[in-house]
Amino acid sequence: MFRLDHKTAIVTGGGSGIGRAIAKIFATQGAHVFVLDLNEQEGKQVVEEIKNAKGNAVFKQCNVGSQADVDNVIHDILKEVSVINILLNIAGIAHIGNAENTNENDFDRLINVNVKGVYNCLHAVIPHMKKGGGVILNMASVASSVGIPDRFAYTMTKGAVVGMTLSVAKDYIHQNIRCNCISPGRVHTPFVDGFLAKNYPGKEKEMFEKLSKTQPIGRMAQPEEVANLALYLCSDEAAFITGCDYAIDGGFIKLNN
């Protein structure tokens, strides 16, 4: 079950965190994975790890916020493979702030990566995917479903991701394209460690435990756990699922009273 043999998968943001975990597990399950990331060093390292594990992967440096860059990368990929079966829009950035202290530059930066980045990839890939069907999975967040303090711009962008997911699922259902999104709670990624080190020096362990306990289950998710859900939703076993937003949040949305 959940094999992806002979399938091509594009993973944006595949150089670190959840994207890295997805790229590795998809390759393990037989997919030909294209790792797209702005960070060349991290992206190439993931590809090297996949190849060392006898998987098939290629790195493509890409700024998802640039439509020209995305179009060029997809064009290059289609020189190497005949079809794109799976698109995973994982690339994204976070921001701390409310409506008052979020400045215009930060607001525009989040829109450019988290919203326009998803649009650019959808715009480039869907015309090719229409020929034989495929699966699209977008990365949303629990922030798109519930209010989280000081996540104004981030919440806005992830709400847009859910909206794009529903729209694409509706528009392309008859072209055999499925589109879903995942809404994780807090996930233990390098971003979390960097955030704690920057904002709470000397109190990293204490704050990590505090953030972990905001999930009713009592801990953060591991990137691999989110990747496992992504694998299911992109596999043939999930062929009846489209237009859905899947929370993977340790009970955060439903059980936090």
Q: What are the helix (H) ranges across 137-222? A: 152-171, 190-199, 204-212
As a dihedral over the C-alpha atoms of residue 171, residue 174, residue 175, residue 177, rounded to 10 degrees, the angle is 70
d(CA 108, CA 194): 22
Q: Is this model's pTM higher than 0.85 or not?
A: yes
Catalytic residues: 154
With a CB cutoff of 8 Å and minimum separation 6, the contacts of 36 are: 10, 11, 12, 13, 14, 43, 60, 61, 62, 64, 73, 91
d(CA 125, CA 160): 19
In sequence order, what DSSP letters do the residues of 46-83 get, joined into one string? Answer: HHHHHHHTT-EEEEEE--TT-HHHHHHHHHHHHHH-S-
- C-beta separation of 50 from 26 below 8 A: no
Question: What's the token pair of residue 140?
Answer: 């949303």
Written as tens digits, the pLDDT of the chain (257 aa) is 999 999 999 999 999 999 999 999 999 999 999 999 999 999 999 999 999 999 999 999 999 999 999 999 999 999 999 999 999 999 999 999 999 999 999 999 999 999 999 999 999 999 999 999 999 999 999 999 998 999 999 999 999 999 999 999 999 999 999 999 999 999 999 888 988 998 899 999 999 999 999 899 999 999 999 999 999 999 999 999 999 999 999 999 999 86
d(CA 124, CA 46): 24
The region that residue 6 occupies, defined by phi over 0 for left and psi between -120 and 50 for alpha, beta otherwise, is left
Give backbone dihedrals phi and psi of 187, rounded to 5 degrees, phi first: -120, 135
Burial profile 78-113: b = 16 or more Cβ within 10 angstroms, e = fewer: eeeeeebbbbbbbbbbbbebeeeebeeebbeebbbb
